[in-house]
Amino acid sequence: MGLSDAIARSASRHAHALVVEVPGSWRTRMAAERSLFARGWRLAVSPADADILVVCGEPGPGLAKAIEVVWHQMPGPRVRVDVHGGDEVGARLDEAHTGLIDTDHHRRDAQQRPTASELLAEQAGPGAESHGGHEGMDHGGHEGMDHGGHEGMDHGGHEGMDHGGHEGMDHGGHEGMDHGGHEGHGDMEMSPGGIPLAEGGEDRDGLEMDVLQVRFGPVLPHWPAGLVLRCSLQGDVIVEAQAEVVDGPPRQEDDVIGSARGIDNIASLLALAGWDDAAAEARRIRDTALEPGDGAAGSELERLRRSVRRSWTLRWSLRGVRRLSDEDAHARGLPADAVGDTYDRLIGMLDRAVAGVAATAAGNTGTRTNDAGRTLSTDHLAHLVMGLDLATARLVLASLDIHELLAGQAEHEVSHG
């Protein structure tokens, strides 16, 4: 017991936390991240990488269900804490630390947690088909891919994949298939382990490729809060997409928040691009910008902007990625600063953040960043990611500097019948 406790205490000093932001609770999420780093903890990139699940805000029913799926995916020892405001962060993380070193609790949790087959049976419900009931499944095994740092990054990977559901997967079209003498095996032959196989479809070259229906979000690092993107994939290329927002985001306004949110989005884009050091610096500047009366953020942000402009590797990796014309931006309801490619948008984000912090420091709130201009309808989001691979799609979304997602007309029509 003494050795087990000692190992648990040592491990708790280097815990990895998966932070979930409820739409509208981004400031609580920022406070949680700041406190995590101050303790020497790190952000987890997937449920499999996490020791602690930190839920920031009060989730609605849709997000609560997704969080429960992620909780079941986390290996033990595991701890969950719910933070309802920035003033609770310290106390809740203290509880998480106490829970991590409670070895007796972890033994009980390991004995009582449901098995994979029990979870599948629960999701399928009574009388479901053998390949049904996967609506709540989260196949998030690719979230934690290591991009090898800023110099060696590869945007062709599956970083951050959240395969959270197989709703809508079409299991038709197999009636005439030759199963090579396995006719007696029934549906299990087409659903090994209870997971439906992909179906075929023509790719852009006219060749037949497997088409897999997957869902990304809403629990995903460096991802707009509450966003669910349902995709049809051929390989790792998105050929069809439909976006929605779970539970709906509330609006928040604050004189400092506009700049801080923009800097937070810069940190996400740099992290997805594989430049972890610059992303960490951006998060530190973001935290400084949230402190009233602290003028240090301006000079620090200017240094970060110079570093980004000097990086040829970053420029090379982001140049030409989803270039948007004036007509493209207007048609998709994007502001004029979205014109250009992903690198142009990153530089624009830095320019706006520098100007916003300077305006706030000078007390000129009339020229601060306008949150209302940083919105995006889910109707337009799908068109921005079609034809891209998964990692590139995440870079493009991060470069749009979204402060709020709006439910589109198609989403309203579905919800209201």
Helix (H, G, I), strand (E, B) or coil at 199: strand
d(CA 344, CA 143): 26
pLDDT digits (tens, 9 = 90+) for 287-300: 998 886 666 788 99
pLDDT recorded at residue 69: 92
| Across 140-154, 190-204, 323-337, least confident range | 140-154
| Across 17-26, 59-68, 102-111, least confident range | 102-111
Whether 173 shows a pLDDT value over 50: the answer reads: no
Q: In this structure, are residues 218 and 237 in contact, taking their beta carbons and an 8 Å threshold?
A: no
Q: In this structure, are residues 136 and 51 in contact, taking their beta carbons and an 8 Å threshold?
A: no
pLDDT recorded at residue 273: 96
pLDDT digits (tens, 9 = 90+) for 90-145: 999 999 999 999 888 888 988 888 877 777 777 665 554 444 444 444 444 444 34
Kind plus residue range of the DSSP H or E element containing 166:
none
Average pLDDT over residues 319-338: 91
pLDDT recorded at residue 182: 45
DSSP for 333-347 reads: T--GGG-B-HHHHHH
DSSP for 28-96 reads: HHHHHHHHHHHTT-EE-SSGGG-SEEEEES---HHHHHHHHHHHHHSPSS-EEEEE-SGGGHHHHHHHH
| Across 99-103, 109-113, 188-192, 197-201, least confident range | 188-192
| Across 96-110, 115-129, 161-175, 254-268, least confident range | 161-175
pLDDT recorded at residue 361: 76
Higher model confidence: residue 176 or residue 277?
A: 277
Among 242, 225, 220, residue whose Cα is nearest residue 168: 242
Percent with pLDDT over 70 in the chain: 70
Q: Residue 200 — very low, low, confident or very high, per pLDDT cuts 50/70/90?
A: low
pLDDT recorded at residue 204: 59
Query: Where do the structural domains in the chain lie, given as residue ranges?
Result: 2-112, 132-169+197-417
d(CA 275, CA 255): 29
pLDDT recorded at residue 372: 47
d(CA 225, CA 406): 12
The two structure tokens encoding residue 124: 């399928």
Most confident of 88-97, 177-186, 227-236, 373-382: 88-97
Whether 409 shows a pLDDT value over 80: the answer reads: no
Asked, as a colleague might, if the bond just before 77 is cis with ω within 30 of 0, I would say yes
Query: How does the average pLDDT of the chain come out, rounded?
Result: 79
Query: Given this structure, which CATH class describes domain 2-112?
Result: alpha beta
- In Å, what is the CA distance from 63 to each residue of 68, 323, 363? 9, 32, 38
**287 phi, psi to nearest 5 deg:** -65, -35
pLDDT recorded at residue 293: 65
Whether 151 shows a pLDDT value over 60: the answer reads: no
pLDDT recorded at residue 317: 95
Handedness of CA 45, 49, 52, 58 (dihedral sign): positive
pLDDT recorded at residue 373: 54
pLDDT digits (tens, 9 = 90+) for 394-404: 999 999 998 88
pLDDT recorded at residue 184: 43
Higher model confidence: residue 5 or residue 319?
A: 319
pLDDT recorded at residue 405: 83
Higher model confidence: residue 76 or residue 181?
A: 76
pLDDT digits (tens, 9 = 90+) for 362-393: 776 554 444 445 778 888 888 899 999 999 99
Kind plus residue range of the DSSP H or E element containing 366:
none
